Each structure stands twice: as structure tokens, then as C-alpha cells.
Structure 1
Amino acid sequence: AETDWPEDMEVLINEESPEETVVGADSTPVIALSRIPDLGKTEPFEGYVFMEDGSALSPEDYHVTMYLQVSYQNYNAYYVKPSAARPFVTIDEEGYFNLTYTSGGDTDKTDFWLLLFPSDHTGMPSELYGDSDFREVCDSALDCVKVERSDEGSTVTPQRDLPDAGEGAPAISALLPVSASHIAMDVGFYTEEGQQPGDPLSEDQIRMHLDSLKKFSNAVRFYNAGGDISKAYEIADEMGLSVVGTAYLSGNETEDLAELEALIALCNRGLVDVACVGNETLLETEEIKPKLTAKQLIEYIHYVRDRLEDETIPVTTSDSVDVLMSNGTLRKACNLIMPNCYPFWGGADISEAAQGFIDSITSLQAVCGDKQVLVSETGWPTAGGTQGNAAAGEAEAAQYFEEIREWSLSTNTQIFYFASADELWKTNEGTFGTHFGFRTNNFVLKEGYADTTFFKSLDLTGCLHSEVVDEGTEPTCTTTGLTEGSHCRICGEILTKQEEIPALGHDWGEWTVVKEPTSEEDGLERRICRRDASHVETRTLPGTEPVPVIAMTHIPACGERDPFEGCIYMKDGSAFSSDDYHVTLYLQGPYDRWWVKPSAAVTFVTPDENGFFSIPYTSGGDTDKTNFMIFLLPKDHEELTISNVPTSKIEELREKSLDWVNVRRTQEGGISYEPLRRASIESA
């Protein structure tokens, strides 16, 4: 369904450019939108109300409402926003308003109408069905703006430029307050011999510069936004420094836009407190030509401001006092005013320099109304000769600094001092350019500044040290450790000495067998350090003597007279010697007594050369006996086996034997024995 404009709104079509422009028939105040949330976003609509003819606005006389349009199959419906309970939003003293639209969700809706009404207009219907009812509401509006959103962007009809940024810009003291214990500094990073702007900058060089600087500075200004200097913004944020970020503009459109986009990105990451678009871009001297026109510079200022996610970040430029005094349009485009002021370059005698600076800044403040004036550069060279009546020198530089700092504190006017350190490449400024630093290019505080009240109060002299932590190391079982220390990355001085920590020694676990010893090979056991499992100690387990064992090959059943037969062999498979062993057998008789076999006269048998043995057991009958013990003994066994012994003797003999077998029979023919071993006749 299509919606016509209200009948009392005039639709003008430019024949050359068929874009619709809708103008209120009798209205003077109009709406311009500064932010339209993308589809799916919950941010509010934001904008300004201003008088189209440029006259003063009385914000208390107006308020703004919005209708969300939803198209159904046969009609359009309109729903008031922010909500039915709160159909209007007021306008602040700068004409600004923001209007939420998501009280019912609605982030996917595409069509909106913003209406401007007198503040005494009330009774807005919360819902309207059909275009005719909506036209009646529009009839009473002073202005009407339609927004159509899509995935590709938003269309606003009529499209109006925003009013110039004015008195509503934040006061600079709220962003970069003047401090009694810190000063603001202009920072150039190209301090090393032979280094030029645009050369590679290491993170270590940036940290060295800022880490020593933060001892007396809480706010810094950088002169580029792109390239390696972008790392400085992250490091400054990490160190808690406020930052004035600058997009360097050269007049090359491609390079300038890249710098602007880099500055915008840094601002939208929360790394910039004040966005400065260009430095001395309009300055013109005999040696210097303007890089841009005022119109181009103003367009760039608006370009940046329109793309910032945080509209409280002031957007400005920095230039000479004369340029800013003579260009009211430029001042109006800026949220705050940033002059560069150097009485030295004007040839002022040191006795008059500070007052000349104060007079220049005061005159500029007078034409800036309520806008804050932040001095973006001033300084005095510490060497290089004379410029008119101005003499360079450390004493003069210190005097100039102390006098204007006293004024800065008394008037709460923030001043950025040029510069944090000497930059050796600045030979384009005659004999003076390389001497504007408060510190040498090696970051040593110059004696003239060290003798000022400010630096004396901080007890700062010489190298201000950029501390680098020397990480400690933990001691191990075998090596010593070190405590944490630190040194200066600038001069190398040890700031905190590292102390040695003694080695801990091993904390061994229990020995565990890795390989059992045999009669033919030693074994191995190891233990592991509880502190470090890679520390392992091993030792040898001596090889064992060969172990002979008994395996039964034939056991007669109860009532049978066959002998007991078996085989002796070495458990580890080594060679067997029959000359070393003999075998005896005991059977259990009445009264828990045990009788030796083959007989009391012949108490053992000797295995043959293959280890086989045979023991008769029926010398006294005994075919009905059920419990037998067969023992393997060394031939040199000192104690002779005897007959008719108690069970205790059998237990003793079992302990002394090389091996034993216990055989049990039942009258029903059952046979069992332990330990159960099977002899291999073939291997034997």
C-alpha cells in the first residue's frame, strides 16, 4: 500500500534531479536527523530541530513524535512512538532530541514518520488505521520527515543538512582537565638519528617514549592516525592517557581520506578524546602554502563528525590564532577551538612572550563565545640562536613555560606543550626545529626544565626511565631461579636487581620395577621426581639364580600302586642339571603324622638327566592315603629327611624347599594338586 504525502505538504520535483523535497507550507522550524538506526538495531533515532531561516530556536516551544507505519494487505496502520503513554519527546537547548522506537520490538520495521508539533499540542492517537486519519494528524504538524530503511541503507525525505555544531559541544575541561601535577604534551615519535615521518615505528620505541612521558603528562596529542602510529593510541589508552588524535592532511585526497578513516576508526574504538581534523591546514606564510581550502576542511570536519559512534567526542581542527580569528565559519564548524600559538616565531622578547601568548589566546576566546579554547601547541626552543628579539635557550624556554603554565592553572585553560622530545628530522624549521623538546631525543629531561617549579615538585631529573620488567624464573630441581626485576629501556640502568633463588633438589618417588631380573639378565627399576616428571633415576636389579620347579606328570588314583611321577625344569628355561637336586615325598597318615617315601631307608629320589623322577609310595601299603607333599631340595640339603613327623615339620620343610607340590586324592578317584604346572616332555 502506498502512502501519499499530507494534502497541505507541497511536493517539489527538481526536473534535473528527480529527488523529492517536502516543505511545510507555513512552518519555520524543521527537523534534520543525525542518526537513523540500522535495521535490527535498537538505538534511538536522533536529530535536531532548528529554524530554517537561521533565526534562534526556542526549544521549549516544540516537541517531536514519531509514527511507525505498518502496511497490511488493504490498508496502512500507524503506531505512535516512543509509546502510547509517552507520545512526545522534548528538545534540548541545542535543538537535539532522541526518540526510541522499540517499545513493541519493531527493529525490523522500515517506514517511519517524524512530526514536529508545538509543545501545547497534545492528545496524539496511539494507533491510526488508514491513510486519511494519518493525514489529519499530519495536517497539524509544523514539519514532517519520512524515513525508509532497508538493508542497503536509509532514505530520508526531505534530506536536510544538520545545523552547524555550536555551543552544545562539551567543555574541554570535562574531557582534559588542567592538572597541577601533570601537563599535556605534543608527541612526535621520530626521535632517532636518521628517522623520518612515515618510517617504521616499533612498539618498543613507542612504549619507551610514552612510559617515561607519563611521569609528568596525563594527556598527549598525536599528529597522525594511520600507519604505525595507530599503535600509540592503544598504548596510550593502556597507560591511562587522554589523547587528542589528529588526521594529518596533505591535500592529497586519497591519502587524506585514508587518514580520516583511520581517525574515525580510532574514535569508534574509544581511543580518542578529541578528534582533530588536520593541523595548520590553512596556515599560509612565505614558505608555507595552504593544504586545503576552508570549505574543504569544513567538509572533512563534518565527514568525521557524521561517522562517529560517540557524538560527545569533540571534532575540531588546529591552526594558527590568526587563521582561527579570521574564519568564523571554520570556528562554527568545530566543537571546540584549538589554536597553535608561538610568540617565539613572532620574534617576541622573552620578557614579553608570555603576555603576548596570553593576549592572543584571550582575544581568540572572546570571539568563540562559550566554546572551549584548547591550546594545541606552544613552546620555546632550547637552542638554535635568535629569531628577531626572541633568543633560544634552556633558561628562556623554562621561563616561558613557567609563566604560561601559571596562567593555564589560574584560568583552567588546557595547554599542550610542544614537544615531548627533540626530533632530529625537523631541520625544515631552521636551526630551531630540532630543539623544541622538553627532553633530548634520548628522553633525558633538559636541565632548564628540570629546574622549574613543576618538575622540581615531581623530583624529576635526567633520564625519566621507562621501566621494563625482567621476568623472574622459578628454580628447578637442578637449576637456580631468579626473582622478578626491572631495568630502564632508555638508559639500561638496573632499577630492581634480580636475586638468585637456590635450586630445589629432587623430590623422589618410590622405586618401581621396570624389568624383572632373570638368571640370565639383570633387571631395572626407576624412580621419578615429584617436582619434574622428566627427571628419572634408574638402577640395576642384579640377575637371579635359576629357579627349578616341579611339574607332575602322573599321579596314581586311590587304590593304585603306580609311583608318583614328575619333571624338574628351570622356570626361566635355562639348562637343568640333575646332579644338583633330589625329590622326596611325604604322605599324611593317622594322628596327623607324615611318613617319608619311597621309605624310611630311602628318603628321596634323584631326577634323571632330563629332570624326570619317579617315587614309589606303597612300601607300607598306603594306596588309600589321600594327602601328599612332594618337595624339591638341593642335593646338599644339610638336614636329612626323616619319617613320622608332625605337620609343623612339613611346614618347615616347605619353607626350606626349592619348590613343592601338594597332591590330594579322594576315594572316588578324584585328584587335585597345587601349584598346577604342566611339564613339557618334549622340551624337557
Structure 2
Amino acid sequence: MSFRNEDYHPYQENWQQQQQRQDFDSSDSAGFDFSEYTSKEDLGKLWNETIKKGMHGICFSMYEDGQEPGDHITMEQVERRIEILKPYSKWIRSFSCIEGNEFVPQIARKHGLKTLVGAWLSDDLEKNELEIEALIDLANKGFVDIAAVGNEVLYRNDLSMEQLLEYIKRVKKALPNIPVGYVDAYYEFVLHPELVQHSDVILANCYPFWEGTSLEHSLGHMNDMFHKVLNVCEGKRVIITETGWPSQGESLRDSHPSSANAMKYFVNTQQWSHTNDIDIFYFSSFDESWKKGAEGEVGAYWGLWDKKENLKF
């Protein structure tokens, strides 16, 4: 997840306006009835019950305090964190294939977890080559269930569409028996049909928080995001590769970080995922202090576990 300046994207309508349209389907947007969970303790028990039921997937957080992207992370650190996560999730999502990130799918597979493995693409073309070759190598060795060629590259404007599609085509040719896709904000698949055309699976990030949506309306907003992608997916599988809610930090219009809101959003998304058979990779596993630099204070508090690797609630 990268820094959003004010809006996740100006393309989206105001969610309250969408509700007023006749074609808006709000049948899956009500969420859990929290009226009986009036204390933080009661809400914490519900959150714990929910997480112990298990998630489809979790986004892997690599970095401890004092570490950041570019540092080489040891296999021992990765394994310790995988062992913490494995009772709670069927899948692990990684974001890169170098600098220790290659250990994530290897150790996840060792512990019986499935893997969505990402090659991190940027405007550094030499590093992109290392990422793509490492992704192909990991897949050929049997460590990749779904391959993701890039994450929010178009959102960051790091590469042209033509450059991105060449990477996707290259990986698809090298890995004909593994589903290959590209991760970006949900609206990119609406705006760019060629992304859908060249993907085996549609990998969409959906963040009501970054569009300034209140907790009350957040599930309905995400339901609408998902269906926007579903309407253009050409029958291909759609996976929500990131969604989450921070427990501390700055507000964005009607989106307010807090422990209570983070717990409620998690419970809502997990219930919605199970009820509707929608695959979600929750963002994120552990709090990471390095994210404060890019996203402000709020960036450091997206984890279900704190930075000391303890469950938050």
C-alpha cells in the first residue's frame, strides 16, 4: 500500500450519492450488528473469536523497528513471523522476491500455507529484472500458487502501461501453469480493460479508509468497489488483495483510526468474505514503523499484530 494524497482516486463517486442510485446493490453492505458490544472488552472478545476462525489470506509484513525496504531480511525472522500467522490464515501474500522476501513463499509452503507471490516493480528497470527472474525461479521451484507482477505500479505512475504489460506477458509465457495477475487499486481495472485482458486472475486493492469513508459506510463502500471490478472481470476470479483499517493515526475526512474501528472493520470484512465466498488478503499482519515516513503516523498501525508481534486486541 502506497501513500495516498487526500483521495485514493478522484474517479470514485461520493459513496452516499451511489446509495441513492437505483442500480446500487446494498444487500451485502449492512455489516455486523455491534449494538450488544458496547464495551471495548466485549468488542475485543468478538474480534478474537473472529480471528481465531481464520482468514482466507494475510499480507506479510517483513520489517521490524529499524528495518525498511532495501534491507536484507533473514530467513530466521521470516520463519518466526510465518509461525505466528499460520494458525490464522490459509494464504500468505508477499510483495517482493529479493532481499529476503524470497524466503516468504518458501517458508510459507514449508508450513503448509498457500502463496500469492509478488514481484515488486518500480521505475528501477535493473531491479525489476531481478524481481521478475526471482519470481519465475520461485514458481519453477514450486513455491508460487498465484504470481502477482507488480503492485500499484500504475497508481504510482512508475511504468507505462506498455512496460507493465510486457512484464505480465513475459511471466505468463514463463509460467503457463500458474495463474498470473497484477495488483492495483480496484478502479484501475475499470479504467484499463487491457489489464483484465492480460490477467488470469484480477487482484484488486480496496480501501474505504483511503477514500475518506466512515466506518458505518465502509463495508457498503467496499462491496461497491468489489462489484465495480466484478462487472468488468470477464468472468475471471476477483481477489481483494488488500483491505484494512488502522488502529491509530490521522483521520481522513470521515475515516477515523481507532482500536474500536479497526476491530469492527475486521469483523465486518471477515463476515462478508465468508458469507459471500469472496477471497480477501487482509492488510496487514504486523505494524511497521517505517511506514510513518510515507503515509504519516497512520501508516504504522495497520497490523492485526503490533510491532512486537503480539495480537493487538
TM-score, normalised via structure 1 length: 0.38
Counterpart of 1:300, as a letter, is Y
Determine whether 1:391 maps to 2:264.
no
Greater relative CO (CA pairs within 8 A, separation 6+)? 2
- Maintained 8 Å contact 2:190/2:229: yes
Counterpart of 1:384, as a letter, is G
Q: Please point out which of 290, 296, 300 is paired with 1:430.
A: 296
CA distance in 1, matches of 2:229, 2:103: 34
Q: SS in structure 2 opposite 1:204?
A: helix
Q: Please point out which of 158, 166, 174 is paired with 1:291.
A: 158
CA distance in 2, matches of 1:223, 1:406: 26
1:574-619 deviations in whole A, cap 9, x for unaligned?
xxxxxxxxxxxxxxxxxxxxxxxxxxxxxxxxxxxxxxxxxxxxxx
| Other-structure match for 2:125 | 253
| Other-structure match for 2:310 | 444
Determine whether 1:366 maps to 2:239.
no
CA distance in 2, matches of 1:438, 1:293: 34
Instruction: Give the 5 Å matches for 1:36-75.
Output: none
Determine whether 1:377 maps to 2:242.
yes
Question: Paired residues, what number?
Answer: 261
| Other-structure match for 1:187 | 60
- Maintained 8 Å contact 1:385/1:392: yes
Alignment gaps of 5+ in structure 2: 1-51
Q: Please point out which of 84, 103, 106 is paired with 1:234.
A: 106
- Maintained 8 Å contact 2:147/2:179: yes
Determine whether 1:244 maps to 2:119.
no
Instruction: Give the 5 Å matches for 1:508-587.
Output: none
Alignment gaps of 5+ in structure 1: 1-178, 284-288, 448-684
Instruction: Give the 5 Å matches for 1:256-267.
Output: 256-267=128-139
| Higher gyration radius (CA) | 1
Q: CA deviation at 1:181?
A: 3.3
- Maintained 8 Å contact 1:188/1:223: no
- Maintained 8 Å contact 2:169/2:198: yes
- Maintained 8 Å contact 1:180/1:409: no
CA distance in 1, matches of 2:107, 2:262: 29
- Maintained 8 Å contact 2:189/2:196: yes
Q: CA deviation at 1:293?
A: 1.0
- Maintained 8 Å contact 2:54/2:87: no
Q: CA deviation at 1:182?
A: 3.4
Q: SS in structure 1 opposite 2:231?
A: helix
Determine whether 1:335 maps to 2:200.
yes
Instruction: Give the 5 Å matches for 1:263-274.
Output: 263-274=135-146
Counterpart of 2:130, as a letter, is A
- Maintained 8 Å contact 1:350/1:396: yes
Counterpart of 1:184, as a letter, is G
Q: CA deviation at 1:180?
A: 5.5
1:212-258 deviations in whole A, cap 9, x for unaligned?
11111120100101232212221111001111100000122111111
Runs in 1 of length 4+ with deviation above 6 angstroms?
Answer: none
- Maintained 8 Å contact 1:358/1:404: no
Instruction: Give the 5 Å matches for 1:133-144.
Output: none
Determine whether 1:320 maps to 2:193.
no
Counterpart of 1:238, as a letter, is K
Counterpart of 1:295, as a letter, is E
Counterpart of 1:281, as a letter, is V
Q: SS in structure 1 opposite 2:136?
A: helix
- Maintained 8 Å contact 1:195/1:425: yes
Counterpart of 2:55, as a letter, is H
Q: SS in structure 2 opposite 1:403?
A: helix
- Maintained 8 Å contact 2:212/2:253: yes
- Maintained 8 Å contact 1:185/1:420: yes
| Other-structure match for 1:303 | 170
Q: SS in structure 2 opposite 1:225?
A: coil
Instruction: Give the 5 Å matches for 1:190-205.
Output: 190=63, 192-205=64-77
Q: SS in structure 1 opposite 2:106?
A: helix
